[in-house]
Homo-oligomer: A and B are copies of this chain.
């Protein structure tokens, strides 16, 4: 049985180029006792994927040349020799950029049926982006009612959920995104209090206008100049949670800290990085609240689903150009 796989062929320098990843056919082995054969259906594409390809260990081990490209997936069990799973079960796991996977059951989470939620939701609002938004906002920033929150990457998979959860918690929310379409979605559908198109607007003056009482919290998905502009407008005692730094992921050199770093001292800021994996043990808290808010119609989300594993690289690149419209997902096969 043949299995199409994306293989890391070279560590990208700057933007991902043709031949950094190559699509290959391989032979799928046998399903041994204790193992399951999984057909991958949906593949999650996330900004963090770029860092995994760098050849440098970070919060995960470094990928090696020749490895199957890593990625979060949803798959359907096709054959099971593991008593914990049966044919037809839907599972969420790190299945990688491939059509099939033989797995010993470690790291598979069965997706509950009859929730009324479509499968891709478990890669977005009920998956890693949802947990990231939930804990990065509620546990790291600890918002209080009426505080002003700025979110960068606000129309993205994580940012759009952060914006909505913060509204549920009674905050004033200003979203930063890179197109008018995204800004309109944030403003008209997600009801954030103000939007900034960082490609069109002057960041400093827009933040001044939209945050007349300063900024209390910043949920950072991007880093770079946007972060510097927010720091300039922070109130004393402001809090900042660092979730992602996408503006620097394609850079050949490390993206340096903000040039106005001294404000961390002068304004007594609290800056904290976090990784969603650290919250695995508390995942249930997020699922309970998120599904309740979804049922109440308080959480919207958008999936941008591209058909075909062969389009995974071009789809990943859309995250960096900002062309994606919602959570980026590749559909590998039919459910």
Q: Given A266-B59, A278-B268, are A255 and B245 also a contact pair (CB < 8 Å)? A: no
- Contact status A254-B262, CB under 8 Å: yes
Stretch of A15-23, A30-38, A269-277 on the interface side: A269-277
- Contact status A255-B266, CB under 8 Å: no
* Residue in chain B with minimal CB distance to A277: B268
Does A214 sit within 8 A of B, measured CB to CB? no
Instruction: Please pick, from B254, B258, B269, the residue contacting A260 in the complex, using a CB distance under 8 A.
Output: B254
Residues of B within 8 A of A256 (CB): 256-259, 261
Q: Given A256-B256, A257-B256, A257-B257, are A248 and B274 also a contact pair (CB < 8 Å)? A: no
Q: Given A257-B259, A271-B271, are A265 and B278 also a contact pair (CB < 8 Å)? A: no
A256 to B227, CA, bound (A): 13
- Contact status B261-A268, CB under 8 Å: no
Instruction: Mark A264-297 against chain B: 1 for CB-CB distance below 8 A, else 0.
Output: 1111111111110010000000000000000000
* Residue in chain B with minimal CB distance to A266: B58
- Contact status A272-B269, CB under 8 Å: yes
For A265, A269, A270, A278, the residue with the greatest tally of chain B CB atoms inside 10 Å of its CB is: A265
Instruction: Please pick, from B242, B262, B263, B265, the residue contacting A264 in the complex, using a CB distance under 8 A.
Output: B242
Does A244 sit within 8 A of B, measured CB to CB? yes
Instruction: Please pick, from B254, B258, B266, the residue contacting A273 in the complex, using a CB distance under 8 A.
Output: B266
Residues of B within 8 A of A270 (CB): 270-272
Residues of B within 8 A of A274 (CB): 265, 268
A255 to B271, CA, bound (A): 18
A254 to B245, CA, bound (A): 22
A271 to B223, CA, bound (A): 16
For A260, A267, A268, the residue with the greatest tally of chain B CB atoms inside 10 Å of its CB is: A268
A269 to B59, CA, bound (A): 12
* Residue in chain B with minimal CB distance to A264: B273
Instruction: Please pick, from B242, B260, B271, B275, the residue contacting A272 in the complex, using a CB distance under 8 A.
Output: B271
* Residue in chain B with minimal CB distance to A60: B266
Residues of B within 8 A of A265 (CB): 242-245, 273-275
For A254, A263, A273, the residue with the greatest tally of chain B CB atoms inside 10 Å of its CB is: A273
The list of the 4 closest CB pairs from A to B, nearest first, reads A257-B257, A257-B261, A265-B273, A264-B273
Known pairs A257-B258, A266-B275; list 13 more (Cβ under 8 Å): A59-B236, A243-B265, A254-B260, A255-B261, A255-B262, A256-B256, A257-B257, A258-B261, A264-B273, A265-B273, A268-B272, A268-B273, A268-B274
Chain A interface (Cβ < 8 Å from any Cβ of B): 58-59, 223, 236, 242-245, 248, 254-275, 278
A-B CB contact pairs (8 Å), 30 listed: A59-B236, A59-B266, A223-B261, A243-B265, A245-B261, A245-B262, A248-B262, A254-B259, A254-B260, A254-B261, A255-B261, A255-B262, A256-B257, A256-B259, A256-B261, A257-B257, A257-B258, A263-B273, A264-B271, A264-B272, A264-B273, A265-B274, A266-B275, A267-B273, A268-B273, A268-B274, A268-B275, A269-B272, A270-B272, A271-B271
